[in-house]
Amino acid sequence: MRIALRSDAATPGGEVGSDQWFLRTALGRSVLAGAIAVALTALPSRVAPTRYNNYVLFAEALLHRRLWIDWPGPIIDAVLWNGQRYIVNDPVPGLLLVPLVAAFGTATNQTVLAVVLAGVASGAAWRLTENFGLPLGRSLVLVAFFFAGTDLWWGSTLGDVWFLAQTSAVAFLTLALAQLTGKTPRGALVGLAYALAVGSRFTLVMALPVIAYATYRGGFGAAASGGGARRLTAFAIVCGVFAAVWVWYNQARWGVWYDRGHTIFFHQDAQAGAAIGSPFSWHNIPMQLQSFLLTPPLLSDQAPFVIPSFKGTALTYTSPALLLAFFARRPRFAVRAMWAATALVAAPSLLYYVNGASQFGMRHALDFEPFLFVLMVLAARVELPRWSVYLTVYSIGMSVLGIWYWLAVIRPEVFG
């Protein structure tokens, strides 16, 4: 069967076939991109369940009307507080798992959600490229990089608690950005997607000024549109409801309005933490910059000769196609907004006391890579240089290496 993507595709009788009609729509093409990402994510590990199923345990706790989990032991990151164990990861993925856990209990496969959210992220990324009018070929290259040239593919394949949180954050943040790059952004939808992203990775709260102003302005186009007060009000109402629930959630766990979970974890971390102080410090910046920009993979005299470092490999070596983001020039507001959001969201990670620990690449970069992706799309509107295509192919190749290494060497039981 021949699938036509052109708007003038039709059957011999002059009518567009049902399958062709679906792919002629922006929604249809986004769904196709998401479905391909789901298939490619499910294929390597066959959606094997993860041992680090913190979110399944959290969903089970919610079904029992409590916030502390039945702790199975040290394999699950959970801080001890007032005699109970609480997960420190942000709650949205656990909320999404509640229906599955209600049906299947703690046998629920958390990786399934990671696979689905990888598809959502990729579909939203495709829609974003179309919102900016990118030709088909350029959209293919950039969405392929977004999905498979970053840690998104690798982390979603494994489905561990930390990786699921970031896949969820990427999916919902990209949905918010796709809404803000459309012709008629809706404040309530932007607010909902952004709130779910923040509820997956709270570092994204740092981008609130940028997202709020873009909502008021009418998106990231060259000129503002009307109705800004109405859009901002809808956005603020949704985010306000989320903030109220967030304060209640922290009060119920820690007895304060803000999230103390990572500080408590830092105090209880015997390997890298400390008994007092904050997990965030200016002294951590050199280590983080080294991790993000300079740390190379390991070299071996045996196949595969290049080995991803267990504690991370710099973006310079895993995702160099990000360099295209630096070539974005217009619209000026969008370029400035994306760089501002990138800097704001990266700041907490640069101050944090660990770089993400067990990982391929630098998974904390997923917090701000959707903003860099927008910059790449803006640059590609003018030109997609051949070197950026080569770097995309290289980046995808590194992800293939990372996935193979983790499944075959770090997690060989997945192939059992």
pLDDT at residue 43, rounded to an integer: 94
Taking alpha carbons only, the member of 218, 177, 171 closest to residue 199 is 171
When pLDDT is averaged across residues 363-367 and rounded to a whole number, the result is 97
**For 129-187, what is each residue's pLDDT tens digit?**
999 999 999 999 999 999 999 999 999 999 999 999 999 999 999 999 999 999 889 99
Q: What percent of the chain has pLDDT over 70?
A: 93
pLDDT at residue 358, rounded to an integer: 87
CA atoms of 127 and 70, how far apart (whole Å): 41
Taking alpha carbons only, the member of 141, 45, 145, 126 closest to residue 399 is 145
CA atoms of 323 and 338, how far apart (whole Å): 14
Are residues 337 and 215 in contact, defined by beta-carbon separation less than 8 angstroms?
no
- pLDDT value at 310 more than 90: no
CA atoms of 182 and 364, how far apart (whole Å): 27
User: Which of the residue ranges 179-188, 207-216, 366-375 would you say has the lowest mean pLDDT?
Assistant: 179-188
The residue behind tokens 């993925």 is 93
How many other β-carbons are positioned within 10 Å of the β-carbon of residue 283? 9
Residues recorded for the chain: 416
pLDDT band, residue 14 (cuts 50/70/90): very low
When pLDDT is averaged across residues 64-93 and rounded to a whole number, the result is 96
Q: Which residues pair with 79 in a beta bridge?
A: 86
When pLDDT is averaged across residues 351-367 and rounded to a whole number, the result is 94
CA atoms of 87 and 69, how far apart (whole Å): 7
- pLDDT value at 17 more than 70: no
How many other β-carbons are positioned within 10 Å of the β-carbon of residue 57? 24
Q: Which strand (E) or helix (H) includes residue 87?
A: none
pLDDT band, residue 1 (cuts 50/70/90): very low
Which two three-digit tokens encode residue 413?
A: 């039981």
- pLDDT value at 6 more than 50: no
User: Which of the residue ranges 14-18, 140-144, 298-302, 321-325 would you say has the lowest mean pLDDT?
Assistant: 14-18
Per-chain mean pLDDT for the chain: 92
When pLDDT is averaged across residues 103-118 and rounded to a whole number, the result is 97
Mapping DSSP to helix (H, G, I), strand (E, B) and coil, where does residue 311 land? strand
CA atoms of 140 and 125, how far apart (whole Å): 10
pLDDT at residue 18, rounded to an integer: 53
